[in-house]
Amino acid sequence: MFEVTKLADGIFKLSTDGGGYTVKVIASVGPDGILLVDTGQLATGEALKAALQTLLTEQASQGRGASAGTPAPFGTAGLGGASPKVIINTHSHIEHTAGNMAFGAGPLIIGHENLRARLRSGAYLFDEFPEEALPRLTFSESMSLRFNGEEIRLIAFTGAHDNSDIIVWFTKSKVVCVGALCNGRHFPSVDEETGDVLKYPETAARVIAALPEDVRIIPGHGEDCTMEDFRAFQSMLVNTTEVVRRRLAEGKDADTLKAQDVLKDWTAFECSYVDRNEWIDYLVKGLQGKTESEKARRKLFEPLYYAWKEKGADAAVGLYREMKATQSDSYPFDEMTPLYIAYKLFNSGKPDASLKFFELTLSEYPEGQYAYLCHYYLGRIHDQAGDKDLAVQSYRKSLELNPDNPKVAQRLKELEQE
């Protein structure tokens, strides 16, 4: 499931499909053991452990690593493979941190000082991070550690993509993991709770200024890149922001900007999860800012989480509908809230509960932007449960709404031929 690429002596990139986009884990393997930068998704935890065991065995056979005649300074009991001694998380997002849970209490987890609170609040409540999967060592601005014969520098650049963003720079190997502070030649996502799209250009420029010209840039998603690529990414951030800023000043709205295709010159930066129209939405929201009433609104995740934990998914769905009818001035209600909960429950191995929230999303937002995604996940849930008819029905509906999905088309064809 993980494709392994050697980046430098003892430094490896482990890449996997995160659901239409690449998720990367970086491993330093040597006499001190294994150090990981990010850990991927919960569902790929076992595959990651297997890939690390294979990697460690190969290194040992070549006379490198902790197994090459040196006592391993880290535990492997019960893991069926090599356990990292250190894990560094570049930021909070679940496809970078959920794999922490696969390794138990052994590794020392390091992250920005905002990371712990972030993983125990808001939508992350539904991920239910145990204490052992949270960072034990945190920092605010920068720190360094020595591991496997080189200095590794951790530097914080928070507030653009997310409020816990850091870079991890292997100074000897000339490799730097930047999370989402560079997204290769693709539009990035922005955490709408703690990120700020308007800070992205300046933050990216500060990262560029901190690094040498010959370093290899490893984004969490997208292609690896050079400093020249990073500058092209930063230039895109500057120029697209100014285009949208000017058009808004002319009195145009987001729909008009999309209709006029004002970002057509940056079509090459589109990716599977942010196209140029979605990037317009990010920029418009950032430039217009939140109203005072929007700032005062509380998030729905906490009351829905406790309703689910105490009384089950049906009770949480009922609470959502009740609150939408009676407290719409106090809480924001949008398509993403129930969808995000559904997605988290699905990836946490709770398909029955996630089904309720996918159905809620479709019920409340039948023509929503992500209706195709809800039908896709409903298809997967029914497929896993062995309900062929409902799976086919859901996959068909997903393809009707979003025909450009070969994986769904292939699975639908397989079911229809059974």
| Domain extents in the chain | 3-181, 298-417
The answer to whether 179 touches 26, Cβ cutoff 8 Å, is no
Name the CATH topology of 3-181. Answer: Metallo-beta-lactamase; Chain A (3.60.15)
Q: What gap in Å lies between CA 357 and CA 348, rounded to an integer? A: 14
- pLDDT for the residue numbered 192: 84
Contacts of 331 (CB under 8 A, 6+ apart): 297, 298, 299, 300, 323
Q: Does residue 207 carry a pLDDT above 70?
A: yes
Which tokens hold the place of 257? 């900007």
- pLDDT for the residue numbered 290: 78
Per-residue confidence band for 67, with pLDDT thresholds at 50, 70 and 90 = very low
| Identity of residue 354 | S
C-alpha closest to that of 354 among 387, 392, 316: 316
DSSP H helical segments within 148-226, as ranges?
200-210
Q: Does residue 250 carry a pLDDT above 70?
A: yes
**SS3 call for 189:** coil
- pLDDT for the residue numbered 296: 60
Q: What gap in Å lies between CA 367 and CA 362, rounded to an integer? A: 8
- pLDDT for the residue numbered 103: 95
- pLDDT for the residue numbered 295: 65
Please write the tens of the pLDDT for every residue from 328-352: 888 889 999 999 999 999 988 899 9
Which tokens hold the place of 48? 């990651």
Which helix (H) or strand (E) segment holds residue 146: the answer is: strand 142-147
Q: What gap in Å lies between CA 283 and CA 104, rounded to an integer? A: 40
Please write the tens of the pLDDT for every residue from 110-145: 999 999 999 999 999 999 999 999 999 999 999 999
Longest Cα–Cα distance in the chain: 70
Length, in residues, of the chain: 418
Q: Does residue 153 carry a pLDDT above 70?
A: yes
DSSP result, 74-85: S--TTTTS---S
Q: What gap in Å lies between CA 340 and CA 338, rounded to an integer? A: 5
Q: Kindly state the average pLDDT of the residues 140-159.
A: 97
Q: Kindly state the average pLDDT of the residues 85-110.
A: 96
- pLDDT for the residue numbered 59: 77
- What top-level class would CATH report for the domain 298-417? mainly alpha
Q: Does residue 60 carry a pLDDT above 80?
A: no
- pLDDT for the residue numbered 56: 84
